[in-house]
């Protein structure tokens, strides 16, 4: 079974097909289908949020821009639209939960300069301290 977005899309397709084939003057019904499609186009899965299936159309809040709606199936506008198309609690319970988009691949780190690392690992930075700056507990590296 599809998620809420997919279920509404199926209902709009069916209403549009019915309007084109069964109604003599389908202008109003087709206008409603177009309005519903525009709402669906705005309220989609947010591709920038990879940790939860957030709704892009509901926006964000706070300094960290957290999504207003954490799950696309809980989007208030989509739920209102779905109830207009006959959604029941049983149908809503049987719908699939949307899956968040996968996170983009992290870039590989740049190549390692082993010669620079060896200079850092083998350096003895205390050997170049002048005697005037050495404290009373100074131990010379032997």
Query: pLDDT over 90 for what percent of the chain?
Result: 56
Q: Encode pLDDT of 104-114 as tens digits.
A: 888 876 777 77
Q: State the number of CA atoms in the 13 A half-sphere of 10 facing the CB.
A: 10
Other Cβ atoms less than 10 A from the Cβ of 6: the count is: 14
Measured in Å, how far apart are the chain's first and last C-alpha atoms? 74
Could you tell me if 26 and 19 are in contact, meaning their C-beta atoms sit under 8 angstroms apart? yes
Separation between Cα atoms, residue 77 and residue 15, nearest integer Å: 19
SS3 78: helix
Backbone φ, ψ for residue 46 (5° rounding)? -75, 115
Q: Which helix (H) or strand (E) holds 61?
A: strand 60-61
Nearest to 48 by CA among 63, 61, 66, 62: 66
Using a cut of 0.85, tell me whether the model's pTM lies above it: no
Q: What angle do CA 96, 13, 35 make, to 5 degrees?
A: 100
Q: Encode pLDDT of 73-127 as tens digits.
A: 999 999 999 999 999 999 999 999 999 988 888 887 677 777 887 877 887 766 6
SS3 55: strand
54-58 long-range CB contacts below 8 Å, 24 or more apart?
54/100
Quick check: 41 pLDDT over 60? yes
């Amino acid at each position: 079974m599809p998620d809420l977005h997919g279920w509404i899309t199926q209902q709009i397709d069916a209403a549009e097909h019915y309007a084109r084939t069964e109604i003599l003057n389908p202008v109003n019904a087709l206008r409603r289908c177009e309005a519903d499609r525009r709402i669906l186009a705005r309220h989609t899965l947010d591709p920038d949020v990879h940790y939860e299936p957030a709704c892009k159309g509901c926006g964000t809040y706070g300094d960290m821009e957290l999504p207003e709606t954490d799950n696309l199936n809980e989007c208030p506008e989509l739920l209102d639209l779905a109830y207009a198309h006959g959604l029941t609690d049983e149908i809503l319970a049987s719908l699939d939960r949307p899956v968040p988009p996968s996170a983009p691949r992290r870039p590989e780190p740049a190549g390692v300069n082993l010669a620079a690392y060896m200079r850092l690992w083998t350096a003895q930075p205390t050997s170049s301290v002048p005697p005037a700056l050495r404290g009373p507990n100074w131990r010379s590296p032997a």
